Amino acid sequence: MSSCRAVLSETERSAGLGGGDEIPVSAAPASPTIMTPEPRVPCLEVRGVSKTFRDGGQIVHALDRVSFAAYPGEFITIIGPSGSGKSTLFNIITGLTEPDEGEIVLECGVVRRRAGRVGYMPQRDLLLPWRTVLNNVILGPELDGRSRREARRRARELLPLFGLEGFENAFPETLSGGMRQRAALLRTFLTDREVLLLDEPFGALDALTRRELQRWLLGVWERFRKTILFITHDVEEAVYLADRVLVFSGRPGRIVKELRVDLPRPRQAISLLSEDLRRHEAELLAALEAANGHAPSGETK
């Protein structure tokens, strides 16, 4: 496993971040940001994945021959109607579910055990109710057998940014929905995986916090060259964050459009009213509408 994880992108190596795991966020030097990832070996490849659920008499075609590749350091957002199999795709990539057809290739090739190879933030926050916020967010390092103290130290540094300062000893049940979501995001980030799968991470946030965390995520992504797959229902968010937007059709989910967003980076300072942004959004919206209009019914009795 470690040999696979060791395959880091060139940028990272040249920036002296080869250690990857143990670098505290604040101490990392600002690396030169390279905007467009050159076509290299993809760190994640989804090949012709189909999935059908049979639940009693009901058959649900969730995914239909979905294929795409994510290259190191790429930021991909996925957008599509509700129930189009986006979460199912993430479950397949993390190895919780096996596809009916197709395969997942992670860095070294098709591996049998995919669990633990990518960082996954599910749609439900799924914090452990018996752990405080601080102990929840260090779950990743703890499962890897890394030092808990070091993990706690890093977590404490990041708590203010996530608006969780002062809540490190609170239990999840006493937090608001958005705070729980932020805690779940922090937990995912602290797993220190190269590939992060984020399932609607900012769904329950107010506009201001959402904007702030989007900026933070872009910052982290640029600094550490993570590869991010990001599901969202928000057109603006999809365009603002991504190198590429994958548009899913209604059930059965398939990729109906791939939109390249060639806005300059870093985008943290970009105006939300910028002409380019609006143009991309309009294009994406049109694609979504087209996908919904032709959405074939996937259910058969």
Partner 1 sequence: MSDIASGEQLDLVARRATAVAWWRDFGVRLALDVARVLVLTGVVALVLAFFSAGMLQLIVEARAQENLSLATIFPSPVELRQAWDEHQTRLLQEHIPETLWETLAGLTIAVVLGLTIAALMDFSPLLRWVLYPVLVVSQTIPIFAIAILLILIFGFGSGPKIIVVVLFCFFPVTLSTFTGLQSADPELISLLRAMGANARQIWVKARLPAAMPSFFAGLRIAATYSVVGAIFGEYITAQRGLGVFLKRSYSSFRLDQAYLAILLTALLSLLLVLLVNLVERLALRWYYTARRRSWRGPGIY
**Which one among 6, 7, 59, 115 touches partner 1, defined by CB under 8 A?**
115
CB of 200 to partner 1, least distance (A): 15
Residues within window 67-126 making contact with Mg ion, judged by CB under 5 A:
87, 123
**Which residue in the set 6, 126, 272, 282 belongs to the binding site for partner 1 (CB under 8 A)?**
126
Residue 3, class by beta-carbon neighbours within 10 Å (0-12 exposed, 13-18 middle, 19+ buried)?
A: exposed
Q: Which is nearer to ligand ATP, 87 or 136 (CB)?
A: 87
Q: Which 83-102 residues touch partner 1, going by CB under 8 A?
A: 91, 94-96
Pick 174 or 268: Cβ nearer partner 1: 174
Q: How far is the CB of 68 from partner 1 (least distance, A)?
A: 20
Q: Binding partner 1 by CB under 8 A: which of 69, 139, 270, 285?
A: 139
Q: Which is nearer to ligand ATP, 8 or 184 (CB)?
A: 184
Q: Which does 177 bind (CB under 5 to 8 A by kind): ligand ATP, partner 1, Mg ion, none?
A: partner 1
Contact between 246 and ligand ATP (CB under 6 A)?
no
Contacts of 165 by beta carbon, 8 Å cutoff, 6+ apart: 159
**Tokens describing residue 142:** 């703890």
Give which of partner 1, ligand ATP, Mg ion, none residue 128 binds (C-beta under 5 to 8 Å, depending on kind).
Answer: partner 1
82 binds, among Mg ion, partner 1, ligand ATP, none (CB under 5 to 8 A by kind): ligand ATP
216 binds ligand ATP (CB under 6 A): no
Site string for ligand ATP, 64-83 (x = CB under 6 A): ------------------xx
- Is residue 53 part of the contact set for partner 1 (CB under 8 A)? no
Helix H, strand E, coil C: the string for the chain is CHHHHCCCCHHHHHCCCCCCCCCCCCCCCCCCCCCCCCCCCCCEEEEEEEEEEEECCEEEEEEEEEEEEECCCCEEEEECCCCCCHHHHHHHHCCCCCCCEEEEEECCECCCCCCCCCEEECCCCCCCCCCCHHHHHCHHHHHCCCCHHHHHHHHHHHCCCCCCCCCCCCCHHHCCHHHHHHHHHHHHHCCCCCEEEEECCCCCCCHHHHHHHHHHHHHHHHHHCCEEEEECCCHHHHHHHCCEEEEECCCCECEEEEEECCCCCCCCCCCCCCHHHHHHHHHHHHHHHHHHHCCCCCEEC
Binding-site ranges for Mg ion (CB under 5 A): 87, 123
The footprint of ligand ATP (CB under 6 A) covers 53, 55, 60, 62, 82-88, 123, 251
Residues in contact with partner 1 by CB under 8 A are 91, 94-96, 115-117, 120, 122, 124, 126, 128-131, 139-140, 142-144, 171, 173-174, 176-177, 191, 301
